[in-house]
Amino acid sequence: MTNRSNSENDYDVVVIGAGAAGVGVAITLKYAGIENFVVLDRNTVGSSFAAWPAETRFITPSFPTNSIGMLDLNSIAIGVSPAASLEVEHPTGEEYATHLREVAKFFGLPIRSTTSVARITKDTESFLIETSRGPLRASHVIWAAGEFQYPRLNGFAGSELCRHTATIPSYDDLEGDDFIVIGGYESGVDAAYHLSYRDKRVRLFDKACPWEELTSDPSVALSTYSLERMQEEWFEEYVQLHPNKPITSVKRKGAGYRVTAQDGEQFQTRVPPLLAGGFEGSHKLVAHLFERREDGFPLLSENDESTIVPGLFLCGPAVRHDKHVFCFIYKYRQRFAVVAKAISTSLGLPANELEVYRKWGMYLDDLSCCGEECVC
């Protein structure tokens, strides 16, 4: 079914973001029979993944089978698998970006690259999306802009003096032989692993002790992939762990830096400390269009829609429902069909093809319940 359009810039749906969430939900829109839509990205498909440090890999493994109807944990659509197409179990960011580009091409998604969104407003009729390439109109908007390009930089005094791990092109580029890494979750362990592999000394600080948590909850404990890396000979030789040691400040001291812990203990380093403190998330850019939960994340209806701006939907790792956190691809992809069905129903479409998505979405309660503290 083809949906009507008043002009070339008038759409039934505008999807903002062409990462895993944006591409995945766009494919689901096609399953729902929605054709008059466009996907916008300020860079290009998968650019956030391509910006990962060259050595960083997925902690969730890709393998061509699992129990929920998808080909692997990092799939974004039924019938596609990064494991099958890339032939690797833990893809790099660049490899996964390549996968997303090929998937978007295969499904013929209407992508507008290098298109930044400046503002979203809504009148009684529709949304006005002001972009770097001119204004667009849409009946519905899906915000799926992700989080990697929005690192958290304000966790403590002097955090701006640190270098966030999200801004490192490659660990080969870092000069120095003695590093302080602040944050002991996945990104911090990843940094320590690659630096120690290069015979660099690393002091790794965390406010808790995630590598000793006796739980399978990925919002609290490290992934098995990270724990395995911590057992490598070079990691044990070159990395000094400082659990339960929250950092309160970083200051310049001469030609180097002084790092102070909450208990008053101080540490010196000649190079900027590396900050692995998670991400603010792009949802902050549209916070005024959503009510807020107590944890600061957008409050959503049961269809992942804004409770104060009807027609605006959220997809991706910022989705929260009660204590359920949809931070990984295999979690937030379960919501694609929910959003697509709500929009197709609004447009008067039957969305019969979404039945196949509903079947694996039935596993929601079993697979989406990691804790509220998730910062992955």
Confidence category of residue 374, pLDDT binned at 50, 70, 90: very low
How confident is the model at residue 303, as a pLDDT?
96
CATH topology of domain 10-149+279-367: FAD/NAD(P)-binding domain (3.50.50)
Q: Which amino acid type is present at position 220?
A: V
**Token output for 67:** 């129990």
Confidence category of residue 1, pLDDT binned at 50, 70, 90: very low
In three-state secondary structure terms, 165 is helix
Which residues, 6 or more positions from 310, have their beta carbon under 8 angstroms from its beta carbon? none
Confidence category of residue 352, pLDDT binned at 50, 70, 90: low
DSSP assignment, residue 62?
Answer: P
How confident is the model at residue 148, as a pLDDT?
85
CB atoms within 10 A of CB 17: 26
Give pLDDT tens digits for 143-178. Answer: 999 888 888 888 899 999 999 999 999 999 899 999
Q: Higher confidence at residue 8 or residue 333?
A: 333
Task: Say yes or no to pLDDT of 223 above 60.
Answer: yes
Which runs of E-coded beta strand occur in the chain?
A: 10-16, 37-40, 111-112, 117-122, 127-131, 134-143, 163-164, 178-182, 201-205, 239-242, 247-253, 256-261, 266-269, 274-275, 312-314, 320-321, 324-325
Give pLDDT tens digits for 95-124. Answer: 999 999 999 999 999 999 999 999 999 998
Give pLDDT tens digits for 84-101. Answer: 899 999 999 999 999 999
Confidence category of residue 366, pLDDT binned at 50, 70, 90: very low
Per-chain mean pLDDT for the chain: 89
Sheet holding 163-164: strands in order across? 163-164, 274-275, 178-182, 201-205, 239-242
What value does the mean pLDDT take over residues 338-358? 80
Task: Say yes or no to pLDDT of 359 above 70.
Answer: no
Which residues, 6 or more positions from 292, have their beta carbon under 8 angstroms from its beta carbon? 298, 299
**Token output for 249:** 């400040």
Confidence category of residue 218, pLDDT binned at 50, 70, 90: low
d(CA 248, CA 85): 45
Scored b (16 or more CB within 10 A) or e, 179-206 reads bbbbbbbbbbbbbbbbbbeeebbbbbbb
Cβ contact 159:180 at 8 Å: no
What value does the mean pLDDT take over residues 23-31? 95
d(CA 40, CA 256): 42
Domains in the chain: boundaries: 10-149+279-367, 159-275
How confident is the model at residue 369, as a pLDDT?
38
What value does the mean pLDDT take over residues 222-236? 95
Give pLDDT tens digits for 245-285. Answer: 999 999 999 999 999 999 999 999 999 999 998 888 888 99
Look up the pTM and report it: 0.89
Shared fold status for 10-149+279-367 and 159-275: yes
d(CA 84, CA 96): 12
d(CA 9, CA 115): 13
What value does the mean pLDDT take over residues 209-213? 90
How confident is the model at residue 66, as a pLDDT?
55
In three-state secondary structure terms, 157 is strand
**Which homologous superfamily does the CATH classification assign to the domain defined by 159-275?**
FAD/NAD(P)-binding domain (3.50.50.60)
Residue 120: closest CA among 145, 98, 96, 99? 145
What value does the mean pLDDT take over residues 56-70? 76
